[in-house]
């Protein structure tokens, strides 16, 4: 297991995954979940005080998804399964060590640097690793 969690955090992560990446399919949703869990595992600024999935999801100004209506409904069983996979073990490129993702818009390029270094793209999401490696 990558991080400790409460059952309510499975639903919370599932809801965020849906709000941020529902159009990206299962793989895209898992990559977004991977980034959230990475933030709990990371030990350097600005995530030094992030200890739980709840902390990561609710960190100020980090995830646009928590502000949209898709976030409000309970997670489906599929979304909860994706969340559990990310919490327990799942990691993959380009989100393996990523701490940020961005959706620049359909057909638009990823910025090479945006809160870190671009490591890859999956569909409409660009993933960024931190410039410094900090125990991830």
**How do residues 26-55 score in pLDDT, each as one tens digit?**
999 999 999 999 999 988 888 889 999 999
Would residue 1 count as lying in a domain? no
- In CATH, what number is assigned to the domain containing residue 108? 1.10.10.2520
* Domain range enclosing 41: 7-129
Per cent of the chain over pLDDT 70 is 97
pTM: 0.95
**HEC profile of the chain:** CCCCCCHHHHHHHHHHHHHHHHHHHHHHHHHHHHHHHHHHHCCCCCCCCCCCHHHHHCCCCCCHHHHCHHHCCCCCHHHHHHHHHHHHCCCCCCCCCCCEEECCCCCCCCCCECCCEEEEEECCEEEEECCCCCCC
Give pLDDT, residue 135. Answer: 60
* Residue 72 lies inside a defined structural domain of this protein: yes
In a domain, 105, yes or no: yes
In a domain, 74, yes or no: yes
Average pLDDT over residues 88-105: 96
Residue 11 lies in a domain: yes
Confidence of residue 119 (pLDDT cuts 50, 70, 90): very high
pLDDT band with cut points at 50, 70 and 90 for residue 133: low
The average pLDDT across 74-83 equals: 99
Domain count of the chain? 1
């Amino acid at each position: 297991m990558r991080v400790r969690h409460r059952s309510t955090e499975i639903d919370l992560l599932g809801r965020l995954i849906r709000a941020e990446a529902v159009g990206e399919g299962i793989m895209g949703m898992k990559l977004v979940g991977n980034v959230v869990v990475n933030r709990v595992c990371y030990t350097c600024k600005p995530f030094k005080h992030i200890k739980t999935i709840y902390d990561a999801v609710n960190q100020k100004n980090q995830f646009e998804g928590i502000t949209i209506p898709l976030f409000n409904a309970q997670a489906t069983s599929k979304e909860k399964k994706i969340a559990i996979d990310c919490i327990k073990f799942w990691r993959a490129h380009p989100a393996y060590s990523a701490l940020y993702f961005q959706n620049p818009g359909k057909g638009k390029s990823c910025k090479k640097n945006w809160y870190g270094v671009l490591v890859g793209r999956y569909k409409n999401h660009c993933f960024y690793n931190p410039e410094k490696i900090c125990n991830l």
